[in-house]
Chain A
């Protein structure tokens, strides 16, 4: 699948450890990412922990290990210092704690591997047994089943050949039937059922998203809530593609993330109500918008004021609990520049005047999910984030701003016009080192920082 990606950070020589050290930035802690593997267990991982790790400073022909201490954490990555080096950082190494060559103390003895000190300190300590006893007794190490738990937490309820409904990237107001092709770290490569194959069998139309994305739904969802769905063009034959060769299986609701329940009583969104919304086609902009249609189960269709084509094909479906719809005045209250409809200027635009002019009312503030959540992100933190406009790409990114539950993400090396607003609980953002543990390709920063 590598041809489907852009650049490969490893091949390009990108290394998170030296990148963080050079920039002086912090990585967002793992506890910020509830959907990330081992998030719940990561509170047991901290500076001072002892591990057994591959010894890369030895002339021995066989693979040997040595004991090291975690001296710094950055997402899944840890800066380790071999025992015996004390305050000397010359042989410190960045390791991904989720990868195979980092183990709990005791692993080597159980697996008949030898612990051998690095050449630099081998002769420095005369009595290694006493030295290690002093350093290890009463210290903490990884749980024995650390890697088993890691594997368990990466299980996915989907498999190749599962059918679902997903937003149509060529017309965002409708959904389309798609089939799961590839799964990497819970990210699904979806092939539209009538996406078509090129002359050499290549897929002409696909979509990537996390299995917990709000853009994917079980088969039958569109009909149930009243969303438009494109019927599959039966003339397009995909049967030569591996994902379509098996008996396809329809997905069911319990394979998807359950959204917060909303009550659509007398006081719900109504057609014509005004709000502020993240532009689905320009995710760095929060725009003046309108409710265009109310669906069932708490979903609404929203249009961006002043730029609509007029046939509804650019409306976008949001759940009432979505972070991407905001009450009028949200931008002003949070010092964000609101993107106005053409013909309006920042100096003279006010919501009361606009509402009067349009003969519209603002959607009631209580309908929005703007509850503050203690997410733990702060500006300047580094993460791995999906470019939602090109969702197959997971990129090196920085949290530029935190406003309530919204994060403004900057893709390192790219112009600010590519920045994107995301929810702090978005499943499309990951801790540093996530790509390495899942085998997903990471896009390195473009050009010098």
Chain B
């Protein structure tokens, strides 16, 4: 996906590991394939 400035991003599922436990969130990181 591209944002308004033309940057290309891809969605990533990332793990968060805190003292309270582990969970995953969906974030955006720059698209390596661009």
Contact = CB atoms under 8 A, between A and B. Distances in A.
Interface of A: 41, 43-44, 50, 67, 104-106, 108-110, 113-117, 128-129, 132-133, 136-145
A389 B17 CA distance: 52
Which of A109, A117, A144, A145 has the most chain B CB atoms inside 10 A of its CB?
A109
- 10 tightest Cβ-Cβ pairs between the two chains A and B: A106-B14, A109-B15, A44-B30, A109-B17, A140-B28, A136-B25, A143-B30, A115-B18, A143-B29, A137-B25
Contact of A50 (B9, B22, B27): B27
Contact of B32 (A116, A128, A133, A143): A143
A145 B32 contact: yes
Contact of A132 (B5, B9, B25, B32): B25
Contacts of A117: 18
B19 A114 contact: yes
A106 B18 contact: no
Given A106-B12, A109-B16, A109-B17, A41 B23 contact: no
A219 to B, nearest CB: 39
A120 to B, nearest CB: 16
A105 B16 CA distance: 8
Contacts of A139: 27-28
Contact of A140 (B20, B21, B22, B27): B27
Contacts, number: 76
A141 B27 contact: yes
Contacts of A108: 16-17
Contact of B17 (A41, A44, A114, A138): A114
21 contacts: A41-B30, A44-B7, A44-B30, A105-B14, A106-B12, A106-B15, A108-B17, A109-B14, A109-B16, A110-B15, A115-B17, A115-B19, A116-B19, A128-B18, A132-B25, A138-B27, A139-B27, A140-B28, A143-B30, A144-B12, A144-B32
Interface of B: 5, 7, 9, 12, 14-23, 25-30, 32
A141 B15 contact: no
B16 A115 contact: yes
Contact of B20 (A43, A105, A129, A141): A129
Given A43-B7, A137-B27, A140-B9, 6 more contacts: A44-B30, A106-B16, A109-B16, A110-B15, A138-B27, A141-B28
Contacts of A67: 16
B25 A109 contact: no
B20 A138 contact: no
A62 to B, nearest CB: 12
Contacts of A133: 23, 25
Contacts of B14: 104-106, 109, 141
A142 B18 contact: no
Contact of A104 (B9, B26, B29): B29
A141 B11 CA distance: 10
